[in-house]
Amino acid sequence: QQQVKQSPQSLIVQKGGISIINCAYENTAFDYFPWYQQFPGKGPALLIAIRPDVSEKKEGRFTISFNKSAKQFSLHIMDSQPGDSATYFCAASILGAGNMLTFGGGTRLMVKP
């Protein structure tokens, strides 16, 4: 069963545009929602994360929006750059249960110059 569903699978954005990736989760016990960025040949690396007690978190050009009632959260990349081209994973976990992350299926982002 896929507890975290991510869309779209792939995304092409022009330089300077906004990239939006969406995730939906099923388990209401999840209480930690990170986004990871993965470049080819590398392991994923934490980009930004949010707890369900806030509806939005911003770090530079990256913003997470969180909707607890809808069980959805999204990543917005403002002013997208070619260097942002990577695969992005949303994830969710229960902090009190070993914090084992359940990942979404990933979104391959390409930012065209």
Partner 1 sequence: DTAVSQTPKYLVTQMGNDKSIKCEQNLGHDTMYWYKQDSKKFLKIMFSYNNKELIINETVPNRFSPKSPDKAHLNLHINSLELGDSAVYFCASRGPGPNSPLHFGNGTRLTVT
Q: What residue ranges bind partner 1 (CB under 8 A)?
A: 32, 34, 36, 38, 41-46, 49, 51, 87, 89, 95-96, 98-103, 105-106, 108
Quick one: 12 or 69, whose CB is closer to partner 1? 12
Quick one: 14 or 55, whose CB is closer to partner 1? 55
Provide, rounded to whole angstroms, the least separation between the CB of residue 42 and partner 1.
5
The amino acid at residue 64 is: I
| Per-residue tokens: 55 | 């509806």
From the number of C-beta atoms within 10 Å of its C-beta (0-12, 13-18, 19+), residue 113 rates as exposed
The amino acid at residue 26 is: E
Provide, rounded to whole angstroms, the least separation between the CB of residue 30 and partner 1.
13
| Per-residue tokens: 59 | 């770090």
